[in-house]
Amino acid sequence: MMGAGSLWCMSFFEHINLVSVFLVGLFLLPVVYGLFRPLTGARIFHSFSTAVSVVIMTVSAVAAVCITNFLYSNNGDNFLSNLFKDIEVIRYSILSQDVLVYALFLIALLIILSGLLQLLFIPLHRLVFIPLSNKMGSAVASANKAVRRLISGFWQLPKSVWLVLIFTLFFNFYSVLSKNTALNDYIEESSAYRLVERNAIRPIVTSDAVRQIPAFIDSTVDKAVQSLSPEGRRLLIKVYINGVTVDEAVRSSPDIDNIAIDLVGAENDHYKMAEILYVWVAGNIGYDHEKADQIETDAFATYSGAVPAFSEKTGVCFDKACLYVAMCRAVGVRVRLLTGHALSGSEWLDHSWNEIFDERDGRWVNVDTTFGGPSSDYFDNEGFSNDHSDTEIQGEW
């Protein structure tokens, strides 16, 4: 049986929202701290210096981004980038939209601008902030004890507001990005959260400037990926397709390896071995339309790759292409996994297929186990490019 204390605790937490308690406590903590710590000229000066540093860093960051964006705008066709026209390596980096050099420019500008602004503020510190801090500190010291405590507490209000805004913004991002609906609902039930979110956070996140940030990030990421070498992409970017990485998707099993070996038998011509495996995958693995619809909604909600395609005898194009990779690897046939677009009826859709290497002719041969079947041959099809485009190699084995 539960004791009276346990029942009281359960009742208490049922009526108290911990998010509200946290935000209220976060607001009060600096104020209470200020009540018990006298405000001095040194603390006032430190507050001024901190505020100035935040302003300097913010202004420097915005200016650095704007200048660097302009430097890279119009493919480097502007007066700013023309300043570097005689420095060939920098000029080429701008023309090629090298994002790594973009980042270096951005960091260098941020350091230079913040340093210059810090220098410009030195006279202001000496001539304004130090004398003003000393006068304010003396005025506070001359007041009675109760007034000094109240002033010290009020002095902490900007810090309190800042902390509440930061954590409310964090809760807001969590609610938008997380799949934890129970915790999301709990956050939304907090009256303190709703008050700050409605009056402070929502006007910020719905502003035109903030709405442009995702598009800016997408554009920057696209440029970064395009400017990387193939080796750089493999080292720095973990690519997910249908909720799994390529390495996970093409992972085989003893059953897959054994059936691939049994199918090719004594055949040692890699072209014929690849064709045998193509016929088996195309004829024995059906297409899962329900899974395709699920992937459109949430790619991570399904299990994709060679193993599920083999065990369930069904899958989408990516699953069938991964199974084909696993079977080719089991018998030593060089194989690629490709993604791009394929013409299905009257529209081009995302698609996955393969290539195998024909050692006799020294060429890569197109293979599509999804489009292939009794009435259509998509192994080394001459018209393959008519309904496949935008080819990108995701892996080669």
- DSSP sequence for 139-158: HHHHS-HHHHHHHHHHHTHH
For residues 56-80, give the mean pLDDT: 81
* Mean residue pLDDT across the chain: 85
Would you say residue 164 has pLDDT above 70? Answer: yes
Q: pTM for the whole thing? A: 0.60
Beta bridge partners of 311: none
Say yes or no to pLDDT of 114 above 80.
yes
Percent above pLDDT 90 for the chain: 37
Q: Region 234-263: what's the mean pLDDT?
A: 84
121-125, 172-176, 223-227, 275-279, range with greatest mean pLDDT: 275-279
Q: How large is the average pLDDT for residues 355-380?
A: 88
C-beta of residue 146 within 8 angstroms of C-beta of residue 5 = no
275 Cβ neighbours under 8 A, 6+ residues apart: 379, 380
Q: Do 323 and 306 contact (CB within 8 A), yes or no?
A: yes
Domains of the chain: 4-206 (no CATH), 238-396 (3.10.620.30)
Nearest to 285 by CA among 251, 308, 269, 268: 308
**In this predicted structure, what is the pLDDT of residue 102?**
79
Compute the average pLDDT of residues 208-228.
Answer: 71
- pLDDT at residue 40, rounded to an integer: 85
Residue 7: pLDDT over 50: no
Distance (Å, rounded) from C-alpha 296 to C-alpha 298? 6
Which whole number is the average pLDDT over 60-78?
A: 80
Three-class DSSP category at 374: coil
Euclidean distance between CA atoms 336 and 367, whole angstroms: 10
CA distance 183 to 16: 15
What is the model's pLDDT at position 80?
66
From CA 148, how far away is CA 61, in angstroms rounded? 37
Q: Which of 182-191, 200-209, 327-336, 349-358 has the lowest mean pLDDT?
A: 200-209
Question: Which among 111, 68, 112, 113 has a CA at the least distance from the CA of 93?
Answer: 68
Q: pLDDT higher for 295 or 253?
A: 253
Residues of 139-150 as b/e, b for ≥16 C-beta within 10 angstroms?
ebeeeeeeebbe
pLDDT tens track for 120-157:
888 888 888 889 888 988 888 888 888 888 989 899 99
Q: Which of 95-109, 217-231, 317-331 has the highest mean pLDDT?
A: 317-331
How would residue 20 be classed by pLDDT, with cut points 50, 70 and 90? very high
Q: Are 335 and 397 in contact (CB under 8 A)?
A: yes
Radius of gyration in angstroms for the set of CA atoms belonging to the chain, rounded to a whole number: 32
pLDDT of residue 301: 76
Mean pLDDT across 323-343: 93
pLDDT category at 202 given cuts 50, 70, 90 is: confident
Nearest partner of 319 among 279, 286, 278, 342, judged by Cα: 286
